């Protein structure tokens, strides 16, 4: 079954709320004449949890192979898919348990950011051996989001000064087109896929500006300041307008910046696309056939978004002789934006990241091979 060229519907059901928006992009008028047709819209319920559930250990969380246990790997303040309020202090809790016979030392090492305030209490300390009554430590976490920006940040927890545990800090703001549930956005048809308008607009710009021919497209980072300004404008305007400029600037958006913002859009989804698949599916997709089966297992929205992205990446791969971006190179730079290893074990996370890269490479290679075959020859045989 060819998953990459099927026209898909955007109708979805999300916790009892249905939304399906169609945007028609003008062929010659550009994006200034977008017409939005809302087929069905139900108001979004506003719900903010300012105090996350108090964390405690249950027998299912205990792992006898570890000298320590951390009660959670994702810090989201109990918000889940709900929007994070701006300038409001949120609270969360995690627990560290010492399973060893020796005293354990820990230290949180959050990076300093101007977009939010984050504190751990205590930020460091020691925990008594497992033979003692007090062999666990409760840590209070407080955060205030200062700007309307999604956060998907790794926080390092150092254990005994020699082992690192990576926790994920993840929240997204109310407004914008980044870091939100894609079903809340306006959709349009692009290359046979129904996708959010901002994705189609960014793709169009990259293609029209000759980006697919540029050496290192999707690999070379755009200017960080420019990307931040463009992203903020998109969050405010709810679409990408290439003619919008910062005050005092006449320069058009840099193509590498827009290509990178496509990756950022996928990276900041409330749940990375490939995290919808069980880890064993990612690990066992060793060839094109098994990777296509993995793609088929995704829910319709995730399958459509990933199919669109693979289609775009295959477009870039067609010019690999000039842009130096082979299917493998594209997978290496894009896959980390589609998968966030659920384990806070660095070695297990590294393995799963490598497997997700192989998974994406197989799918891009499948699409590339599919395009090279005459229509009557059918689909690739699925070999690696």
Which pLDDT value is given to residue 35? 30
Burial 285-294 (b: 16+ CB within 10 A, else e): beebbbbbeb
Which pLDDT value is given to residue 85? 82
- Work out whether the CA dihedral 224, 229, 235, 238 comes out positive or negative: negative
Answering whether pTM is above 0.95, one says no
**Structure tokens belonging to residue 148:** 């309307």
Contacts of 361 (CB under 8 A, 6+ apart): 327, 328, 330, 331, 335
Which pLDDT value is given to residue 61? 41
Residues 218, 325 contacting (CB under 8 angstroms): yes
* β-pairing verdict for 74-75 and 163-171: parallel
Residue of 258, 275, 254 whose CA lies nearest to 218: 258
Residues 266, 307 contacting (CB under 8 angstroms): no
Angle among Cα 176, 254, 333 to the nearest 5 degrees reads 75
Helix axes 346-372, 288-296, angle to 10 degrees: 100
pLDDT in tens, the chain (384 residues): 345 554 433 333 333 333 333 333 333 333 332 333 222 222 222 222 233 333 444 433 434 467 899 999 999 999 887 778 878 899 999 999 999 999 999 999 987 788 899 999 999 999 999 888 889 999 999 999 887 778 888 999 999 998 999 999 988 776 689 888 899 899 999 999 999 999 999 999 999 999 999 999 999 988 988 998 899 889 888 899 998 876 556 688 999 999 999 999 999 888 899 989 988 888 888 899 999 999 999 999 999 999 999 999 999 999 999 999 999 999 999 999 999 877 667 787 888 889 999 999 999 999 999 998 877 666 666 554
Residue of 200, 201, 216, 187 whose CA lies nearest to 311: 200
The DSSP secondary-structure symbol of 144 reads E
Residue of 159, 160, 161 whose CA lies nearest to 345: 159
Which pLDDT value is given to residue 351? 86
Which pLDDT value is given to residue 87? 80
Contacts of 282 (CB under 8 A, 6+ apart): 274, 294, 339, 352, 355, 356, 359
Which pLDDT value is given to residue 175? 66
**Structure tokens belonging to residue 166:** 């990576």
Q: What is the Cα–Cα distance from 380 to 91, expressed in whole angstroms?
A: 51
Helix axes 327-334, 346-372, angle to 10 degrees: 140
């Amino acid at each position: 079954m060819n998953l990459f060229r099927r026209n898909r519907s955007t109708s979805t059901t999300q916790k009892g709320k249905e939304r399906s928006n169609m945007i028609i992009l003008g062929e010659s008028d550009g994006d200034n004449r977008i017409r939005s047709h809302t087929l069905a819209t139900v108001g979004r319920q506003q719900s903010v949890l300012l105090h996350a559930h108090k964390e405690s250990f249950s027998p299912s969380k205990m792992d006898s192979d570890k000298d320590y246990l951390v009660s959670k790997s994702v810090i989201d303040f109990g918000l889940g898919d709900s929007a994070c309020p701006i300038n409001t202090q949120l609270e969360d809790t995690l627990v560290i348990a010492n399973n060893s016979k020796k005293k354990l030392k820990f230290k949180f090492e959050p990076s300093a950011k101007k977009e939010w305030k984050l504190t751990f209490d205590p930020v460091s300390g020691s925990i008594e051996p497992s033979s003692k009554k007090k062999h666990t430590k409760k840590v209070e976490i407080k955060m205030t989001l200062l700007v309307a920006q999604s956060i998907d940040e790794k926080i390092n927890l150092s254990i005994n000064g020699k082992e690192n545990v990576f926790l994920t800090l993840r929240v997204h703001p109310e407004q914008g087109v980044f870091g939100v549930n894609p079903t809340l956005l306006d959709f349009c048809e692009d290359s046979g896929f129904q996708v959010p308008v901002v994705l189609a607009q960014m793709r169009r710009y990259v293609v029209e500006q000759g980006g697919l021919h540029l050496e290192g497209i999707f690999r070379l980072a755009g200017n960080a300041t420019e990307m931040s300004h463009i992203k903020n404008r998109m969050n405010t305007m709810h679409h990408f307008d290439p003619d919008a400029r910062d005050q005092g600037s006449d320069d058009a958006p840099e193509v590498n910046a827009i290509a990178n913002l496509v990756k950022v859009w996928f990276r900041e989804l409330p749940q990375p696309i490939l995290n919808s698949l069980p880890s064993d599916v990612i690990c066992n997709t060793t060839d094109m056939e098994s990777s296509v089966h993995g793609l088929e297992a995704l829910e319709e929205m995730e399958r459509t978004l990933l199919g669109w992205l693979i289609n775009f990446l295959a477009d870039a791969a067609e010019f690999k002789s000039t842009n130096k971006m082979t299917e493998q190179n594209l997978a290496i730079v894009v896959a980390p934006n589609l998968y966030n290893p659920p384990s806070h074990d660095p070695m297990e996370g590294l393995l799963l990241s490598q497997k997700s890269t192989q998974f994406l490479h197989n799918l891009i290679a499948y699409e590339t091979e599919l395009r090279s075959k005459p229509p009557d020859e059918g689909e690739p045989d699925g070999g690696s």
